[in-house]
Structure 1
Amino acid sequence: MAICNPNNAFGKYCPTTCGVAEYLSKYHSDADTDLESMLRDLEIISNWTQGAEQTAEFMKDSVTLAQKSSTSDMYYKKSSNMLDDVTRFQLTIFQQEQDIIKLQHLISSNEEKMANLKRLAMVLQEKCDKPCKDEVEIQTITGKDCQDIANKGAIISGLYFVKPALATEQFLVYCEIDSFGRGFTVIQRRRDGSVDFGKDWIQYKEGFGYLSPDDTTEFWLGNEKIHLLTADTSSIPNVLRIELIDWAGNKKNIYRCKC
């Protein structure tokens, strides 16, 4: 390569090829390195292309051989099995969709029930917010017993407070008052078996069960209260009435007088 002799009158690079030569001389080695790298890359790409072409040819040959050989039945069976699997998956998905629909209906139903319960809870809350009011109606007339109450003008059967002569405080009883003006103090009521009468002596002494104004509940008044009702012999005689009703609804009454 010729040596460049620049002319100072024209600056660093004279209007000749001296500047170009210096530029090429400076970057020539780097350019050669880059070119060699590019050539290697092209060779690799060429090898890959050739390998891909060989693979494609192999695949074509394999397909041709498969078409000519009995192994195509195996591929057909595999394809059929795959189709069967796809069909089963589709059926499974369909069943799951049906289950989802059922669950959605169930959720909707539960939401409706929850809404009803919320409305009921609001109604109950309104009632609970009101002052407590005793809804059990207790008659105002009192006496020593139910006959004494009937003698004072009571004509309605229901709950009354009585205070026998020997009692220290009044207690609640159910009075059955008939159209003849007779008042019976009910000491026991058996109806539907809702109350267990297999009690001990203390419970029979104090009484058990539930009194109701419409006479629909079972109870035993209590031995102590029964004693107080019958202990006063200075008044009129006591009459015990036993009323029995069989399964057919037939009623029988038995009266016993303590004279």
Structure 2
Amino acid sequence: MQLRFLLCLCIVGALAQSDYDEDDGAEGKKDPKEIQDPRGHRPVSRGRETYSAGPAAPPPISGGSRYRGRPTAAPVGKLVLEKEEQPDSGGCNHMSEKMGVLCPTGCDLKKTVQKQERNVRPTVDQLKRSVDELTQSTNSVYGYVLDMTTEVAQRQRVSEGNGLLVGQYTDSLETQHAYIKDAVDITFPQNIKILQAVLDKIREKIQRLEKAISAQRAKCQVPCKVSCPIPVVSGKECEEIIRKGGEESQMYLIRPDPLGMPYKVFCDQTSKNGGWVLIQNRMDGSVDFGRRWDDYRRGFGNIAFDVGKGHCQTPGEYWLGNDRTSQLTKMGPSELLVEMEDWSGSKVYAQYEQFTVQGEATNYILAVGRYSGTAGNTFLNGATELFGENRTMTIHNGMMFSTYDRDNDKWIPGDPSKQCSKEDGGGWWYNRCHSCNPNGRYYWGGSYTKYMAKHGTDDGIVWMNWKGSWYSLKSISMKIRPFFKQK
């Protein structure tokens, strides 16, 4: 900035000198003889000037030196100091002989400066703008340098972090490499030996099964004999059979559809005036109820067996089948009776005057109503020991049927890890999940814990409103018959 300022002053001085030269040319050049010594009006000597007592002394010779001796004594009387008259020092006389040829006056200098200002000012303004632009550019460059410095510091920190992360990954890879090497060298060979031993045992079992099958085929070459004959009387359902005289509880043939084939059922002709078709029975755990959708649709298990009386008067464990149950309930209004017994011999029941199972197209939706009994209304009310949503999610009325291979419950549909049937042991009208579980796993003795359960859930033969979640019943049966309103 100082360098630029000095440059501006030099330019101003040069331009001012040019103007003075032009003024001198206008007035014409003086004769060299007429040019006065610029110091002619001042004494060369520094001695004291003399006083004059009378007429004025002649002016000193131009360029000469004044008298260097002692001053003459002034005359006695009034002393008069002769003061040399000077030109008008405050006027505008230029190149005055008395003032000197190069003596500028204030008025001319002002005019000259004002004249030069018109030429110098645009240059100064241009220089000022250039200085401002240079200042802004310098600031921008300075800011850019600061940003670059910050970015370099950040990149350096990132680089250091990446180096640390690479080191951690390297350590992890080395650990995994050691683990894999150990698994390949030691673990895999051991597992192969174990699997080889298991394979040998499976082969032995297959051989034994082949022998057993061969023995059974040899036995089946002889015609089988029925151990208990089926009564001659039959009907559309057990209610019609009892009206025709079949008053003993045993296995019968029924034919609900005149165009369909008859099939075997167990008729309970003693409980609550009889006429009940047994659609489900659990009593000893001899039949596995953890089955697929098609098994529950067709039915499975043992209808009845003979205990030595010549007739099949003892029901076995079985599920009649969803298709047949749906067909029976569509013939007209039906009612449901659920009887159960604990391991101490106590018995209770739950009866519903309305019971309907829809067809397979609706996934066998359940509908019940008008409860009475001593076991507790789990189908309509859910588990009464729970409250709010926890209770309503255990209501079975209105639910679709679910098996482990066809999930229709309300517990996160579509999630294979959230299936009530898979966790609770059998097919049923699950919600999220149950307050009763007649088709669950059979536990001898009644009480069981989550550590005994396969998935840690209450998967036993449960009726929560009577015995709670962790008590598996000794027996339970479900029976249906046509409903007739009592008069």
Which has more helix, going by share of residues? 1
Shorter-chain TM-score bucket reads 0.3 to 0.5
TM-score norm. by structure 1 comes to 0.46
